Structure 1
Amino acid sequence: MSSTTPGQQEIVASLPLHLRPFVAVQDPDAQYTPRDHAVWRFLMTALTRGLAQTAHPVYLEGLSRTGIALDHIPSIDEMNACLAKLGWRAVVVDGFIPPAIFMEFQALKVLVIALDMRSVEHLLYTPAPDILHESAGHAPFLVDVDYAEFLQRFGEVGMQAIANAHDHELYEAIRELSILKENPATDPDDIANAEARLAALGDSDGEPSEAALLTRLHWWTVEYGLVGELEDYRLFGAGLLSSLGESQSCLDDERVKKLPLTVNAVETPYDITSTQPQLFVTKSCRHMSQVLEEFAATMAARRGGADSLRKAIDAKVVCTAEYDSGVQVSGVISEVICDAVGNVTYLQTRGPTQLACRGKELYGHGIESHKEGFGSPVGLLKEFSRCLSDYTVDELKAHRIAVGEAVELEFLCGITVRGRLEDVLRQEHRNLLLSFSDCSVTALDGRVLFDPTWGRYDMAVGARITSVFGGVADRENYQLYKPLPRTTTPGSKPDPRLMAAYALLGRRPSGSAPNSEVNRESEEVSAFAASEVQSLRACLDDYATEWLLRAEILRVGDVGLPEDLLSRAREELDALVVEAQHRRALALVFPESITA
């Protein structure tokens, strides 16, 4: 990072180390052009007017209470000054970030805001995350305590969901396509190829992972949720609140079916490239929390055991298995051995593996120490009434388990560990790891699970696998995710003359005619200088297709602009904008001038 404002610096410094690289720096003066601010003004005016009667009442109240103005793109510091009063914070990020990282930010009550502002070409829909969707869509409802608690809890649950290799491929495909589509210089063939890759991944016949199912629940609540009754609902999903088109089309109950929200919503996939054929209606934020907990109760993180380990094996990505002793094994789980009644007796990982306890890596047992994988029995020892982790050092000695001695451990399942005990790692009065030299581990059928020639053998201690969750236990010391560089090619540089015209108009409040509710009546506004008016006339001559410039002239209205210039802008804007959705947006912003 280069330099940040004090507010941004303080927030970044308060984050866990592994999250900090994902935080970008916002410099509003340098990153957003006057045209970007004009896009924001136009969209926010149209959205707030269009949603006045259809969005949940908290929406309009929440905009002002979370530092989101209608007349300019908000700075992250403006937002944080307001969010701090609600117990939340916000950071800016550069486009897409891995879903697990997104959820972790959310669990920490940190709202993730995309840095970019959508272009005028993608006014009604942006293929990439942008600051309008992330801030004006998500932030306003944080003023509702129940919603804020739901969002945080969703992050906590989402952090533990097991994703699979297909999920990671899908994320990369969506990320690539959004970058290509947002860049005006992209070759159409590249977009077509990226769309084909995404479509192929979407056609997968495999069972959706926990993370994929949870993403669907997120989509049908946080992004595209309705609240109220089936016959009397309001919009609150950020995807609806930031889409001029879908926020209107979703109200057609004949075209868009409304269903009551239950946990069954996870069975309904979604398509990010098209409007939704159905939406789910929740009674309240507390109702959503109930549905979330109903799903969470089915997750491997809650259930543990053999089925959860098999779910991790099928995922083929790094997951964490937690013993009842507190020992956590983080790696790609490759095998689980069970007895005849389904109890886990042995687990094996492959590749770099971390050993931890309660989220902290055990000293000397990071991925450098277990590069090739890790395997260990699970269960009780024969004639031991308690888990081995519960025995004191003196009790271990009484059972002939002592450092420096040859030890033989016979598990109830038939696995036998023989070797010289070199160390017992204890924490919080519990035995967590037993380390052996010259060690052999054999199964009941004689299978060799560990051979003395393989080196030192570290055995995790625990009677049961109580939890299996996605990712690693200690994220600081085993960082699965790193920020990826943007692969887009910079587009054309902003035209200085055109930007100067937008800047000139942007410094003026909205005129009294079509934008009376945002008119700053307390400000004294002088008439535009003759040279400034002449410059605007010349811009209309030279930028014949720049419809947003004409919209900005109409926004300023009769505050210092001559009537003939306003008439020209109105006529040319009416002729330029032919797309139905754009016309509906213009009619919201200029109800007296434009017909939808």
Structure 2
Amino acid sequence: MYSQQQIIDSLPSHLRPFIAHQDYNLYTPRDQAVWRFLMHQLVENLSESAHPIYLEGLRRTGINIEEIPKIEVMNDHLNEIGWRAAVVDGFIPPAIFIEFLAHRVLVVAVNIRSYAHMLYTPAPDIIHESAGHAPFIIDIDYAEYLQRMGELGRRVITNKGDIEVYEAIRSLSIVKESPNATQAEIDAAETHLKDSIERKKEDPISEAALMSRLQWWTTEYGLVGTVDDYKIFGAGLLSSLGESLNCLDDQKVKKLPLTLQAIATDYDITREQPQLFVARSCRHLSQVAEEFARNLACNRGGKYGLDMAIAAETVNTAVYNSGLEVSGLLTHAMYDPMGNPTYIKTTGPTQLSYNERQLSGHGIEYHEHGFGSPVGKLVAIPNCLSTYHIDDLRDLGIEMGKRVTLNFLSGVSVEGMLKNITRRDGKNLLFTFEDCTVTDLDGTILFDPGWGVFDMAVGYRIDSVYGGSADPAEYPLYNNPSDTATVAGDYDATTLELFSLYGQTRGLRENQATSAAQVEDLIRSCENKVQEEWLLIFELLELAIKTKADEALVSALEARLESLLATESQENQILIRYGINRIATQKAS
């Protein structure tokens, strides 16, 4: 059994601030009714159309359709299959969200969609992430795919526009879910998101955006089987009453076999999807993921990776073949005529690391203004300088405490007093010079002695370029969750009274000894208080039928529920019809 604190302690320190606390008492009786209504209807809708593992997965991951899941209970069940769960507050940065998966931790939003947005919510919620993602983790191939996506997500390059859009989406979701938000605030948030998306269209598409498409068409909106015979497994479909049914219409929603071509297809989170992709199996997902991974900058490095990082305008990491990792805002790179990197430069705070651990004394405080260093082989020295022992270097005229001149094949020259050599695992990573001058082939000054100490990276090749910093614990890109946070509403007296009625209804339903008379008394006591609350009317009606309450009261409740079809929103009309059909089924049985 894992407590939330044990999970927090087991994770890297930069992930810990994003874990929230699930105060179960903050869920209102109406929240519990929202969960119960949607989950009963989803299970009914999906009993035939979802992958067969879905219903078994709900049970094995500790998800009860009668009540909002407790994270501790989920952890007890997930621990049996080598996974854990942690709650977070709404949207968190995509890079952070997906890194949790690499540690086999399923992230679950602590909040639940509101009564006003039962059919669709723009914000992550506990229905989507617990009842959508968790059930399929019991499938080993699916779980391995999730973990692999987490590992890749830690490496993909995110651009500046991605971050702006993320913040705009989060802000909009918070405003829409706030019971106190004005229409002007909602309109402003929607305009901000629209503007962010339009600005992003001008940028080259990032690896992170391509990966989000792959996730969208697999873990969120994926089908499994063949284009003619398929089942649902995507969490977005599994948690959507409307789309889980509408997606089955092959005339309206085109089905395509899943290939890497899926990343060429964008998606719109505000509307139902016009096409979906069908994987042959969960194992097939991992095969597509590996094809995607093969061409990422983290696996290609060189000019390709450096150019992508520079264009992204975000913090990324360039890895020399020696293993030295340079993390910062890459702003400039020089290449020879064959496209081989000869010099790289960062601007602003920069971190030097090895094996994703910051080198002592080489954090962002020390390299606060940036870092620059040559890349490439040296004239008349056949091997990489990282491979030479101290005695071998001395034979080459490279000795600490003496002036050293290093001439690179690219024409870059480094000349100065060698003060220190940083080594790890028998490899040279950094040469530290004082009174040092660095010039290129044309004699342009790349480093002047007046600028201070020059730390030269050792390595003749950039093997990898990946997103973020090498050691996020020492160079966190997201120090804390976003400044804005999802909020609980301040409820007025009328709403609190409604919550009390939901709670009384729930209490009677759960009490095996509840009589028809008790239900009838409750219905009469709240007759004038629930005129517009269709979900409470449904709950009372369901309870009345179960206890065989007075037929006149049952008929009156049915009539009130039917009458709301003329006044409720289109979304609520859909939900009410679901409720009416369920009542008809219960009466028939």
Q: Is the 8 A contact 2:498 2:529 kept in 1?
A: no
Match of 2:218 in 1: 221
SS at match of 2:481: coil
Q: Is the 8 A contact 1:300 1:308 kept in 2?
A: yes
Q: Do the aligned partners of residues 391 and 82 (structure 1) sit closer, same or farther apart at CA in structure 2, a change above 3 Å counting?
A: same
What is the rounded CA distance, in whole Å, between the counterparts of 1:544 and 1:169 in structure 2? Answer: 43
Report the more deviating stretch, 548-557 or 17-26.
548-557
Q: CA deviation at 1:414?
A: 1.1
Report the more deviating stretch, 200-209 or 100-109.
200-209
Q: Does 1:577 align with 2:565?
A: yes
Match of 1:562 in 2: 549
Report the more deviating stretch, 247-256 or 477-486.
477-486
Q: Do the aligned partners of residues 96 and 153 (structure 1) sit closer, same or farther apart at CA in structure 2, a change above 3 Å counting?
A: same
Q: Is the 8 A contact 1:46 1:588 kept in 2?
A: no
What is the rounded CA distance, in whole Å, between the counterparts of 1:199 and 1:251 in structure 2? Answer: 30
Q: Is the 8 A contact 1:525 1:559 kept in 2?
A: no
Match of 2:256 in 1: 259
Q: Is the 8 A contact 2:317 2:468 kept in 1?
A: yes
Give the residue type in structure 2 aligned to 1:539. Answer: C
Identify which of 355, 362, 366 aligns with 2:363.
366
Q: Do the aligned partners of residues 190 and 137 (structure 1) sit closer, same or farther apart at CA in structure 2, a change above 3 Å counting?
A: same
Match of 2:10 in 1: 14
Q: Is the 8 A contact 1:547 1:577 kept in 2?
A: no
Report the more deviating stretch, 309-318 or 479-488.
479-488
Identify which of 538, 541, 551 aligns with 2:528.
541
What is the rounded CA distance, in whole Å, between the counterparts of 2:527 and 2:159 in structure 1? Answer: 53
Match of 1:238 in 2: 235
Q: CA deviation at 1:594?
A: 9.8
SS at match of 1:168: helix
Match of 2:141 in 1: 146
What is the rounded CA distance, in whole Å, between the counterparts of 2:137 and 2:542 in structure 1? Answer: 30
What is the rounded CA distance, in whole Å, between the counterparts of 1:338 and 1:267 in structure 2? Answer: 30
Q: CA deviation at 1:176?
A: 0.7
Match of 1:486 in 2: 484
Q: CA deviation at 1:485?
A: 3.5
Q: CA deviation at 1:264?
A: 0.7
Q: Is the 8 A contact 1:45 1:70 kept in 2?
A: yes
What is the rounded CA distance, in whole Å, between the counterparts of 1:23 and 1:413 in structure 2? Answer: 48
1:103-114 counterparts in 2 under 5 A?
Answer: 103-114=98-109
Q: Does 1:476 align with 2:480?
A: no
Q: Does 1:75 align with 2:73?
A: no
Give the residue type in structure 2 aligned to 1:538. Answer: S
Q: Is the 8 A contact 2:326 2:351 kept in 1?
A: yes
TM-score, length-scaled by structure 1: 0.94
Q: Do the aligned partners of residues 527 and 117 (structure 1) sit closer, same or farther apart at CA in structure 2, a change above 3 Å counting?
A: same
What is the rounded CA distance, in whole Å, between the counterparts of 1:158 and 1:437 in structure 2? Answer: 39
Match of 1:52 in 2: 47
What is the rounded CA distance, in whole Å, between the counterparts of 1:488 and 1:68 in structure 2? Answer: 24
1:203-222 counterparts in 2 under 5 A?
Answer: 203=198, 204-222=201-219
Give the residue type in structure 2 aligned to 1:434. Answer: F
SS at match of 2:47: coil
- Give the % identical residues: 51
Identify which of 183, 205, 208 aligns with 1:188.
183
Q: CA deviation at 1:16?
A: 1.2
What is the rounded CA distance, in whole Å, between the counterparts of 1:401 and 1:506 in structure 2? Answer: 79
Match of 1:551 in 2: 538
What is the rounded CA distance, in whole Å, between the counterparts of 1:508 and 1:144 in structure 2? Answer: 38
Q: CA deviation at 1:177?
A: 0.7
SS at match of 2:191: helix
Give the residue type in structure 1 aligned to 2:484. Answer: R
SS at match of 1:251: coil
Q: Is the 8 A contact 1:418 1:441 kept in 2?
A: yes
What is the rounded CA distance, in whole Å, between the counterparts of 1:527 and 1:270 in structure 2? Answer: 51
Match of 2:118 in 1: 123
Q: Does 1:179 align with 2:177?
A: no
Match of 1:520 in 2: none
Q: CA deviation at 1:503?
A: 1.2
Per-residue CA deviations over 1:238-263 (Å, capped at 9, x if unaligned) read 00000001111111111111111110
What is the rounded CA distance, in whole Å, between the counterparts of 2:545 and 2:249 in structure 1? Answer: 37
Runs of 4+ in 1 over 6 A off after TM superposition: none
Q: Do the aligned partners of residues 89 and 489 (structure 1) sit closer, same or farther apart at CA in structure 2, a change above 3 Å counting?
A: closer
Q: Is the 8 A contact 1:22 1:93 kept in 2?
A: yes
SS at match of 2:585: coil
Give the residue type in structure 1 aligned to 2:343. Answer: Y
Q: CA deviation at 1:395?
A: 0.3
Unaligned runs of 5+ in 1: 511-522
Match of 1:275 in 2: 272
TM-score, length-scaled by structure 2: 0.95
Per-residue CA deviations over 1:458-511 (Å, capped at 9, x if unaligned) read 01101100000000000111110121243566534163322222112212447x
Report the more deviating stretch, 134-143 or 543-552.
543-552
1:233-382 counterparts in 2 under 5 A?
Answer: 233-382=230-379
Q: Do the aligned partners of residues 346 and 139 (structure 1) sit closer, same or farther apart at CA in structure 2, a change above 3 Å counting?
A: same
What is the rounded CA distance, in whole Å, between the counterparts of 1:528 and 1:153 in structure 2? Answer: 54
Per-residue CA deviations over 1:394-453 (Å, capped at 9, x if unaligned) read 001111111111111111111110000110011100101010000000001111110000
Per-residue CA deviations over 1:160-210 (Å, capped at 9, x if unaligned) read 110100001110111111111111221112212221222233332332100
Per-residue CA deviations over 1:32-63 (Å, capped at 9, x if unaligned) read 01110011110000000011111111111100
Match of 2:430 in 1: 433
Q: Is the 8 A contact 2:18 2:88 kept in 1?
A: yes
Q: Does 1:455 align with 2:452?
A: yes
What is the rounded CA distance, in whole Å, between the counterparts of 1:248 and 1:35 in structure 2? Answer: 25
Q: Does 1:102 align with 2:97?
A: yes
SS at match of 1:264: helix
Give the residue type in structure 2 aligned to 1:467. Answer: S
Report the more deviating stretch, 479-488 or 402-411.
479-488
Q: CA deviation at 1:377?
A: 0.6
Q: Is the 8 A contact 1:533 1:561 kept in 2?
A: no
Per-residue CA deviations over 1:57-88 (Å, capped at 9, x if unaligned) read 11111001000001000000010000000100
Q: Is the 8 A contact 2:171 2:484 kept in 1?
A: no
Q: Is the 8 A contact 1:404 1:422 kept in 2?
A: yes
Q: Is the 8 A contact 1:259 1:278 kept in 2?
A: yes
SS at match of 1:374: strand
SS at match of 1:540: coil
Q: CA deviation at 1:554?
A: 2.5
Give the residue type in structure 1 aligned to 2:502. Answer: Y
Report the more deviating stretch, 480-489 or 373-382.
480-489
What is the rounded CA distance, in whole Å, between the counterparts of 1:167 and 1:89 in structure 2? Answer: 28
Per-residue CA deviations over 1:2-44 (Å, capped at 9, x if unaligned) read xxx971111111111111110000021x210111001111000
Per-residue CA deviations over 1:304-335 (Å, capped at 9, x if unaligned) read 00111000000000000001100000000001
1:513-528 counterparts in 2 under 5 A?
Answer: 524-527=512-515
Match of 1:31 in 2: 26
Give the residue type in structure 1 aligned to 2:559. Answer: E
What is the rounded CA distance, in whole Å, between the counterparts of 1:348 and 1:528 in structure 2? Answer: 77
Q: Is the 8 A contact 2:324 2:458 kept in 1?
A: yes
